[in-house]
Amino acid sequence: GGDLFDYIMKHEEGLNEDLAKKYFAQIVHAISYCHKLHVVHRDLKPEN
């Protein structure tokens, strides 16, 4: 469990590129889906 912000804070050395790409792709896919439903999130950040 937990959110992306907590995960990032636990890994101070950063994420490896492959894992960062995976998370980024998931986020983009989710935002795209929301936009198709005409839903807009106006406060995107790791804590959300």
Catalytic residues: 43
CB neighbour list of residue 21: distance below 8 Å, 6 or more residues apart = none
**How far apart are the C-alpha atoms of 21 and 18, rounded to whole Å?**
5
CB–CB of 8/45 below 8 Å?
no
